[in-house]
Copies of this chain bind each other. A is one copy, B any other.
Amino acid sequence: MRTSTRTEAALHCCVVLGWAEGRPVSTATLAGLFELPAAYLNKTLQLLARGRLIESVPGVGGGFRITRRPTEVTLMDIVAVVEGRDPLFRCNEIRQHGRAASPTPPSHPCAIAAGMRRAELAYRKELAAQTLAELMAAAGPGARRRTLAALAL
């Protein structure tokens, strides 16, 4: 189990777009900031756009711009859009498949699935407790200044 590299790119892009404060930044510019393949990064940005976290601006001078205030976007929002909303642990109810299965449908939920969901909930809760604005602040003023200077190109 590993988070995809798209998540890392999406988070960094959200920080940059947050610093841009609504000004559109093109895929090519963002790709140049991180030396990532532009066409592939575009796909990740489209995911974020579908999740309504950013919106696309077509035409010359267009790109993507952030739609919400950084204080109102959590890490959970971004991760959920990129990684999907499916639970990390999917219970296949194998306890009900073979021998030793209960003859009647079980009233109690699968204890194993419940335990995994509990951990997953802690994961999601911690992600939801962190906002994009906190990430932008934690990155430091130096990174912000260098990034804005690079965007002016």
A21 at interface (Cβ–Cβ under 8 A)? no
Q: Quick check: B75 and A116 within 8 Å, CB to CB?
A: yes
Contact of A102 among B7, B116, B142 (CB under 8 A): B142
Q: Quick check: A8 and B91 within 8 Å, CB to CB?
A: yes
A46 at interface (Cβ–Cβ under 8 A)? no
A39 at interface (Cβ–Cβ under 8 A)? no
Q: Digit string of A74-86 for contact with B (CB within 8 Å is 1, else 0)?
A: 0100000001101
A95 at interface (Cβ–Cβ under 8 A)? yes
User: With A and B bound together, what is the CA distance between A83 and B116 in angstroms?
Assistant: 13
Given contacts A94-B8, A115-B135, A138-B111, contact A143 B100 (CB under 8 A): yes
Which A63-118 residues have a C-beta within 8 angstroms of B?
75, 83-84, 86, 88-92, 94-95, 97-102, 108, 111-112, 114-116, 118
Q: Which residues of A contact B (CB under 8 A)?
A: 1-5, 7-9, 11-12, 15, 31-36, 75, 83-84, 86, 88-92, 94-95, 97-102, 108, 111-112, 114-116, 118-127, 130, 134-135, 138-140, 142-143, 146-147, 149-150, 153
